[in-house]
Amino acid sequence: MTRSERKRILFVCTHNSARSQMAEGWVNFLYCDRYEAFSAGTAPSRVDPRAIQIMAEVGINLSQHRSKNLDEFQGMKFDYVVTVCDRAKGVCPSFPGGKVILHQSFDDPAPSTGAESLSDFRRIRDEIKKWLEGMFG
């Protein structure tokens, strides 16, 4: 399959700091032969360093990623637009360039602190992977 034949997926969450970044990373790592993934936020902030760290543990490099505003993708076409948090779904229930709109909410690991912080990020990373395997694998 050529690059232009791959299906395009846009993952959306509120801050584009962890969940949507992890989903983008997983798809581009696991399924780059069939899909091209992107991510954006309804109120972007920065990529959480803990998301970068726990994705590096599984061989996925997010260190060059940046948080992007959903507006950057206006006018673009996507085969799938996936909201990965309830707040994003409320703000962005549809996307004009999306053929199929999906929603799968994952807990936000960002508020966790202390010893459980990385464990929470790992749990969400693994939940996202499992869902992606069932949906796109």
Say whether 85 is catalytic.
yes
Which of the following is catalytic: 47, 82, 88, 92? 92
Point out the catalytic residue in the list 85, 110, 124, 132: 85
H or E stretch covering 133: helix 116-136
Among the options 9, 10, 12, 13, which is catalytic? 13
Contact (Cβ atoms closer than 8 angstroms) between residue 105 and residue 119: no
Please confirm, yes or no, whether 92 is among the known catalytic residues.
Answer: yes
**Which sequence positions are flagged as catalytic?**
13, 85, 92
